[in-house]
């Protein structure tokens, strides 16, 4: 039977309906808050140059890079271990898209900007803004970039003259044909957190003063990199191995193009970051050069950690912003209960909460980038160095955790579509889940606070508190509305200082409480940041709102002895491991 148009059942007509998808516009133009922050931090003539570059780059991201990043996810790396004739070749096949992302990274100066220092101490902010925009479209190329920046920093800080005119120049090159990336091989089977305890790789000294490395590295990302820094124990003439680790530089390929005695055993099958080749590998006598004095390896490689942890934070803020931009756009296009989602106050509140969390994380990351730029300037004070040292683990920990939360909630804003792979959305959550794990887990960042406490003899706390007090003072004279929030923050700081006293006196309690303490430190710092922004005239209303909101949240995150003392710790063990509850 033929239906006329009027006879077609409604359910079939509805099949014609298709949902308008969220669209990605120039991410720089779409993010008011990033512009506001840049106005806050950059002198006007530098802002003009940086903003112009970001506008151009944002357009390139939306029109070109996003598609390449998605392609890299579709064409994941493959390991070909043997040739057709049985020869062991261990070839890591990466996509054309992955290689294009490398070229784009070089051209855009994503590693080189802070070393060119065109904008002096503001160069790190310029780089940070670019990484924040690039990360969610980068097809995970931001990972090798982080390690490459870390390697360049290590060479510079340790003043490794033998690498200054070779590897260093390649790491910071803007020429795609000359640009190198670096790996950071720290993790072994027995320990990724406890690197000193878990490293079994041995370095054997050769007659020409070089070393050969023997051992297995359990996680090596961007294994297609041209070089790597890694750790090993030097073998002594009596065949015993050093207790402490030393740092080594190696190139992954020899001059003839074959591997430097490196076997690639496997590519990891990962929850996310699938574009990124992460391998298990065996070093079977890889030629390597020792860096600096022996037995100082962990301390030396920490230069890399400081940089990669900052990059991790910018990857987190970039991904949070991306899901939110798309969710806000979708809320205008998707109808429910007779109106678009953005007309439903509860949905808007959900998005607004995510916006505030994203703004806070972004401000924190940009502020630490500012500080990094300052510290890299030779005129920087010792207090800035201490502040950067304590803020780095805090920032890494805070932004990574926030990213997982915001992106998970952000996916929900798309309903069922947020769970569907072809939308390209779920990868954001899969890729975010690694942010709290690699570059040191959340707990490891919290324990780093204890390390800073020990190494500065507690001085970090007065430096940290002084910065907050300065901001409070500035805000107190910037108008009665702000003074009111400043007073609240001042009360919180006093209360927190009192809570810290028993912690400083009892290291086990300090360790047990360190995660709660770390989050509270983040909130205090972020609150003071927004107070400072609100004290200047730049976007005062929103800054004040966030300062007020954050200050109100600070209250109950750190408990007392009853939560961290001996009986509480026994209680925790009982809860987890005893049948007798």
Binding site for ligand FAD (CB under 6 A): 184-187, 191-193, 219-221, 270, 273, 278, 434, 437-438, 440-441, 443-444, 447
- Cβ 505 to ligand FAD shortest distance, Å: 20
Binding of ligand UCC at residue 530 (CB under 6 A)?
no
- Cβ 540 to ligand FAD shortest distance, Å: 40
Binding of ligand UCC at residue 193 (CB under 6 A)?
yes
Ranked by CB distance to ligand FAD, the top (closest) residue is 192
Determine the Cα–Cα distance for residues 441 and 228; give it in Å rounded to an integer.
22
Binding of ligand UCC at residue 440 (CB under 6 A)?
yes
Select from ligand UCC, ligand FAD, none the partner in contact with residue 448, using the beta carbon and a kind-dependent cut-off of 5 to 8 Å.
ligand UCC
Asked if 414 and 429 count as a contact pair (C-beta separation under 8 A), the reply is: no
Per-residue contact flags (x/-) with ligand UCC for residues 113 to 152, judged by CB under 6 A: -----------------------------xx--xx-----
Nearest residue (CB) to ligand FAD, 318 versus 373: 318
Binding of ligand UCC at residue 94 (CB under 6 A)?
no
With both helix axes pointing from N to C terminus, report the angle between 32-41 and 44-60 in degrees, rounded to the nearest 10: 150
Binding of ligand UCC at residue 514 (CB under 6 A)?
no
Angle, CA 450 vertex, CA 465 and CA 312 arms, to 5°: 85
Determine the Cα–Cα distance for residues 370 and 355; give it in Å rounded to an integer.
22
Determine the Cα–Cα distance for residues 381 and 371; give it in Å rounded to an integer.
11
**Token code pair at residue 187:** 């993790």
Determine the Cα–Cα distance for residues 573 and 369; give it in Å rounded to an integer.
40
Binding of ligand UCC at residue 305 (CB under 6 A)?
yes
Determine the Cα–Cα distance for residues 531 and 546; give it in Å rounded to an integer.
9
Contacts of 325 (CB under 8 A, 6+ apart): 24, 25, 27, 30, 31
Q: What is the DSSP letter of 271?
A: S
**Token code pair at residue 555:** 């209250």
- Cβ 220 to ligand FAD shortest distance, Å: 5
Nearest residue (CB) to ligand UCC, 103 versus 157: 157
Select from ligand FAD, ligand UCC, none the partner in contact with residue 54, using the beta carbon and a kind-dependent cut-off of 5 to 8 Å.
none
The sign of the dihedral angle between the CA atoms of 20, 25, 27, 33 is: negative
- Cβ 90 to ligand UCC shortest distance, Å: 20
Binding of ligand UCC at residue 298 (CB under 6 A)?
yes
Per-residue b or e along 344-380, where b marks 16 or more CB atoms closer than 10 Å to that residue's CB: eeebeebbeebbebbbbbbbbbbbbbbbbbbbbeeeb
User: Contacting ligand UCC (CB under 6 A), which of 299, 381, 536, 552?
Assistant: 299
Residues that bind ligand UCC (CB under 6 A): 142-143, 146-147, 184, 186-187, 192-193, 195-196, 221, 298-299, 302, 305-306, 308, 311-312, 315, 438-440, 444, 448, 451, 455
């Amino acid at each position: 039977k033929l239906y006329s148009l009027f006879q077609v059942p409604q359910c079939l007509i509805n099949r014609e309906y298709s949902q308008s998808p969220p669209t990605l516009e120039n991410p720089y133009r779409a993010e008011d808050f990033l512009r506001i922050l840049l106005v806050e931090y950059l002198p006007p003539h530098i802002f003009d140059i940086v903003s112009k570059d970001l506008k151009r780059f944002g357009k390139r991201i939306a029109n070109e890079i996003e598609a390449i990043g998605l392609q890299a996810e579709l064409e994941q790396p493959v390991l070909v271990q043997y040739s057709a004739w049985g020869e062991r070749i261990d070839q890591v096949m990466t996509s054309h898209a992955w290689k294009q992302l490398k070229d784009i990274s070089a051209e855009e100066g994503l590693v080189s900007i802070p070393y060119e220092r065109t904008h002096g101490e503001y160069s790190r902010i310029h780089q940070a803004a670019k990484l924040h925009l690039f990360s969610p479209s980068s097809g995970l190329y931001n990972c090798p970039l982080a390690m490459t920046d870390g390697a360049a920093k290590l060479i510079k800080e340790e003043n490794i003259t033998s690498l200054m005119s070779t590897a260093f120049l390649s790491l910071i090159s803007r020429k795609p044909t000359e640009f190198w990336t670096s790996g950071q091989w720290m993790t072994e089977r027995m320990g990724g957190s406890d690197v000193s305890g878990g490293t079994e790789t041995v370095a054997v000294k050769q007659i020409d003063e070089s070393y050969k490395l023997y051992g297995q590295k359990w996680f090596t990302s961007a294994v297609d990199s041209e070089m790597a820094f890694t750790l090993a124990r030097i073998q002594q003439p009596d065949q015993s191995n050093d207790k402490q680790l030393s740092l080594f530089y190696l190139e992954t390929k020899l001059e003839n193009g074959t591997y430097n005695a490196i076997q690639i055993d496997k590519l990891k099958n990962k929850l996310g970051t699938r574009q990124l080749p992460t391998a298990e590998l065996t070093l079977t006598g890889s030629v390597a050069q020792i860096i600096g004095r022996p037995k100082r390896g962990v301390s030396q490689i920490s230069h890399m950690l400081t940089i990669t942890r900052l990059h991790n934070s910018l990857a987190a803020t970039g991904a949070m912003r991306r899901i939110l931009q798309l969710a806000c756009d979708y809320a205008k296009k998707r109808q429910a209960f007779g109106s678009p989602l953005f007309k439903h106050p509860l949905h808007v509140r959900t998005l607004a909460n995510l916006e505030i969390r994203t703004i806070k994380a972004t401000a924190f990351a940009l502020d630490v980038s500012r500080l990094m730029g300052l510290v890299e300037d030779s005129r920087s004070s010792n207090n800035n160095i201490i502040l950067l040292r304590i803020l780095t683990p805090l920032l890494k920990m805070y932004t990574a955790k926030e990213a997982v939360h915001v992106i998970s909630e952000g996916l929900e804003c798309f309903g069922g579509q947020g769970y569907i792979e072809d939308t390209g959305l779920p990868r954001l959550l899969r890729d975010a889940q690694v942010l709290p794990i690699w570059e040191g887990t959340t707990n490891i960042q919290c324990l780093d606070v204890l390390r800073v406490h020990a190494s500065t003899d507690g001085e970090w706390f007065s430096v940290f508190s002084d910065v907050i007090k300065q901001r409070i003072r500035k805000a107190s004279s910037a108008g009665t509305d702000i003074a009111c929030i400043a007073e609240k923050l001042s009360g919180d700081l006093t209360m927190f200082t009192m809570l810290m006293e028993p912690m400083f006196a009892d290291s086990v309690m300090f360790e047990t409480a360190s995660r709660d303490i770390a989050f509270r430190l983040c909130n205090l710092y972020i609150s003071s940041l927004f107070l400072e922004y609100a004290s200047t005239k730049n976007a005062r209303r929103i800054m004040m709102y966030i300062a007020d909101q954050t200050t109100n949240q600070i209250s109950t995150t750190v408990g007392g002895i009853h939560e961290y003392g001996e009986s509480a710790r026994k209680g925790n063990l009982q809860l987890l491991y005893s049948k007798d509850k």
